[in-house]
Structure formats: C-alpha cells, structure tokens
Chain A
C-alpha cells in the first residue's frame, strides 16, 4: 500500500491552462505539505495544512490554491499556468506539527509547453 500517493505522475500542458494535482495519505497523519522541486533539485515548501487548516503559505503566487477536503487529502490547483511553473511537485505528510519525519509521495512532474 502506497503511504502517500499523488496523481497524475506526469502532467504536460500548455501555458495559460488550469490543472490540478491530487494527493492522498493513508498514514492517519494530521499534517500535509506541498513542495516544489526545481531543475537543480532544490526543495521549497509551498503550503502546509494541519487537520484541514492552512498553517503555512510561503510566498507562492495566488494562482496556486491548495484544498484539503479532509485530513487525508490535500489537492493543489494551479490557474493560468506559466513556463516557470515547470517543476516536480511533491506532496508529503507528517504525524503532526511537531518535529516529525515527513513521508513524501513520488512527485508529479509538471511540464509547461
């Protein structure tokens, strides 16, 4: 059983389109995250949710909107896609907001044409 699963694994689309990435965790964790990994492998946190509530919103354009329908799911919707959005997006979860290891999904590679 995959602990943190993301769909789709690959997403190729044109500039200006709107797309969504879904994430689900079956670990019973309270906290979920979205990260962006650029072409140089740098991992940057975008959002964090705890029990469906937004905790962290780093300096991310408001074209990115996370939604957490329940604490096992954290989806990412992106409007008006730009070339600079091309990256690998990782979902992760941790037990709670204390210092805990994070469990990552295998990523969604987003390519903007």
Chain B
C-alpha cells in the first residue's frame, strides 16, 4: 500500500520567516495530494491541495509544489504568523472506487512572535 513520509516532525520559526514541510510517497499511481492544518482541540482542515497534472499551486501565503518523478511534494508558508502555529498533515491518494487517503505523521509548526 501507499506509504507517506513527512519531515520534519517539528519546525520552529520566527514570525515573518518562511516554513517548508516536505512529504514523499511510495505509490506512483497516487494523484491527489491535500494538506491539512490541525489546530489544538480541532479536527484537520484542508488548506490547499494539488493534483498530479499540476506542478505548483498558490493561495496567498501558502503554496504547494509537486514533483511526480521524485514522488515528493512540499508545503511552503511565507511570512509566517503566530496563528500559523498548528500541526500540518500531508496526504496522498489515488482515487477510484476505494479512495483511501494515507496521511503523513504530521509536522508541529511553532511560530515565535
């Protein structure tokens, strides 16, 4: 089955810095890669996603890049703010009739004011 590795497990940055979280996946048939943000006491919430026919996608301060050849994708957050502090999860799936998303183990992002 699919295996998703996520790094780093913890990331500490100063407010205003950029943050990058990286994920690799094992199944070359995977074609959908969402990123979720989980705040304390809440469920994960989608922040951005990318499909295999796209190499990069941006939404204001966040962006995701995908390299299908290398089987890795990354989340980039620019101009970090304290409210960006949360746990971030990447996921990969290949759709079809038995859509089973595989999640990475999460990255705890801490943004120091």
Question: A residues engaging B (CB < 8 A)?
Answer: 4, 31, 40-45, 48, 55-56, 58, 90, 92, 94, 97-107
Known: A40-B105, A98-B95. Contact between A45 and B100, CB under 8 A?
A: yes
Stretch among B20-28, B43-51, B55-63, B66-74 lining the A interface: B43-51
Choice from B41, B49, B100, B108 contacting A48 with Cβ under 8 Å: B100
Give chain A residues whose Cβ lies under 8 Å from the Cβ of B94.
Answer: 99
Give chain B residues whose Cβ lies under 8 Å from the Cβ of A58.
Answer: 100
Question: Do B41 and A106 have beta carbons less than 8 Å apart?
Answer: yes
Question: B residues engaging A (CB < 8 A)?
Answer: 31-32, 34, 36, 38, 41-46, 49, 51, 87, 89, 93-101, 103, 105-106, 108
Cα–Cα, bound, A106→B45 (Å) = 10
Known: A45-B101, A104-B36. 18 other contacts (CB 8 A): A4-B43, A40-B105, A41-B105, A41-B106, A43-B89, A43-B103, A43-B106, A48-B99, A58-B100, A94-B99, A97-B96, A98-B95, A98-B96, A98-B99, A99-B51, A99-B94, A103-B46, A107-B43
Nearest Cβ in chain B — how far from A10, in angstroms?
Answer: 11
Nearest A residue to B52 via CB reads A99
Question: Do A99 and B93 have beta carbons less than 8 Å apart?
Answer: yes
Nearest Cβ in chain A — how far from B48, in angstroms?
Answer: 10
Question: Do A101 and B99 have beta carbons less than 8 Å apart?
Answer: no
Question: Do B49 and A101 have beta carbons less than 8 Å apart?
Answer: yes
Question: Do A99 and B97 have beta carbons less than 8 Å apart?
Answer: no
Question: Do A106 and B100 have beta carbons less than 8 Å apart?
Answer: no
Choice from B43, B87, B105, B106 contacting A106 with Cβ under 8 Å: B43
Give chain B residues whose Cβ lies under 8 Å from the Cβ of A97.
Answer: 95-99
Choice from B34, B95, B100 contacting A101 with Cβ under 8 Å: B34
